[in-house]
Structure 1
């Protein structure tokens, strides 16, 4: 990780929601498949309806992506700035197409790309890839890690960095920032509220701002690992 230039990093984070607003909006076949998927975790306090509202977003088969935020370092006059862009919308296919267009232009220009994020190996990258297949889109080579050897996969996952080989350990992005004395941007929502903000308030902008904050926090963690000065607010540019 230390040897990877900041300019080659693409920091990403995604926000997802259930594909339908509620369990009863799905047809019977999908309701059955959801009940089959979630049955082992149901209890007297958790109904199928409640489980769908609370958990469907984390499964690519039952959820959809509504926002992808990307961030990248730019070296100017021997100082780094960090630029953040969000792609959000209700049409997931359009959103994913725009995302891959941006990455294709990046690779054409720089020839190198290293994804970076918190828990991206287990969540963000697989989720994006699955949803691209579901939407009938071609999976670009730089997202097709399935047939690559582990040492050919260039990706930085801050969750994995913190594990140091301890596979039992899990740390949230918020806790990791706190431990490393990185001031996290103030959030007016958290991950558990994204579905409500989307389905009830239709506020994509609010969700995008939340997503961008996670990208910035990951960037700061990378700088901490590299023993470099943290970004100041004046060096963070939303584009």
Structure 2
């Protein structure tokens, strides 16, 4: 039961990704061909690979991470606080700093990672990008040889499924039905690419990413039947 988990042992996180390059034509010819092949079944008949490239950030082979935001509870009682931090910069720096944080502060067996749809997206995406950069995977992302019950990952979308594997619920919808303030009050995922490449506003993206982390933590609290965080309990550094 999730009520038995110690909140301070859970690292809540979210990532933001964009296409590897700003424009499709910036890719080498072979990469353009591989992208066309990769997306041939996702694209509509009249959609060219070039037009579809703005969505390339969802694939680790053609995208990159521009922000990882994390949050954790410092105290489990009524005087608790939720502290957040965002990693930005080059992708290599983001992944290096994030990996070091995991190794230094979230490496015990009872430490868990939690996100929304993170088992399908965030966790494997981070791991793939680390491998692409030639980095060693931290223990919390190295799942080789582990049994399902040994994997240290929580997923609020999976928890909301209650065993219904056909069910998909966005974080925006879930916060709405649970009476939680929406994290999508500024930009949404479809706009991150433009904010990054055109506006060059990584601060805005990091703020958006942190709001998602707070929303995931709030959903987790609701699933445990606990009171939501108040604004004064949320600290970003």
Identify unmatched segments of 5+ residues in structure 1: none
- CA distance in structure 2 between the aligned counterparts of 1:213 and 1:103, rounded to whole angstroms: 21
Residue in 1 that maps onto 2:146 = 148
Which SS does the other structure have where 2:85 is aligned?
strand
Q: 1:43 deviation in Å?
A: 2.6
Residue in 1 that maps onto 2:33 = 32
Q: 1:80 deviation in Å?
A: 1.5
Say whether the 8 Å CA contact 2:172–2:183 is kept in structure 1. no
Residue in 1 that maps onto 2:95 = 96
Say whether the 8 Å CA contact 2:7–2:76 is kept in structure 1. no
- CA distance in structure 1 between the aligned counterparts of 2:49 and 2:203, rounded to whole angstroms: 30
- CA distance in structure 2 between the aligned counterparts of 1:234 and 1:86, rounded to whole angstroms: 19
Q: 1:105 deviation in Å?
A: 1.2
When normalised by structure 1's length, the TM-score is 0.95
Q: 1:111 deviation in Å?
A: 5.8
Identify unmatched segments of 5+ residues in structure 2: none
Please say which of residues 37-46 and 146-155 is displaced more in the overlay: 37-46
Please say which of residues 41-50 and 227-236 is displaced more in the overlay: 41-50
Which SS does the other structure have where 2:229 is aligned?
coil
Consecutive aligned runs of 4 or more in structure 1 exceeding 3 Å deviation:
none
Residue in 1 that maps onto 2:224 = 226
Q: Deviations over 1:70-102 (max 9, x none)?
A: 00001177422101100012x111110000111
- CA distance in structure 1 between the aligned counterparts of 2:119 and 2:52, rounded to whole angstroms: 25
- CA distance in structure 2 between the aligned counterparts of 1:17 and 1:122, rounded to whole angstroms: 17
Q: Deviations over 1:200-238 (max 9, x none)?
A: 111100000000000000111111111111100000000
The structure 1 residue matched to 2:187, chosen from 165, 184, 189, is 189
- CA distance in structure 2 between the aligned counterparts of 1:81 and 1:26, rounded to whole angstroms: 44
RMSD of aligned Cα (Å): 1.4
- CA distance in structure 2 between the aligned counterparts of 1:230 and 1:7, rounded to whole angstroms: 15
Alignment of 1:1-12 (within 5 A): 1-12=2-13
Which SS does the other structure have where 1:94 is aligned?
helix
Residue in 2 that maps onto 1:63 = 63
Which SS does the other structure have where 2:81 is aligned?
strand
Q: 1:107 deviation in Å?
A: 3.2
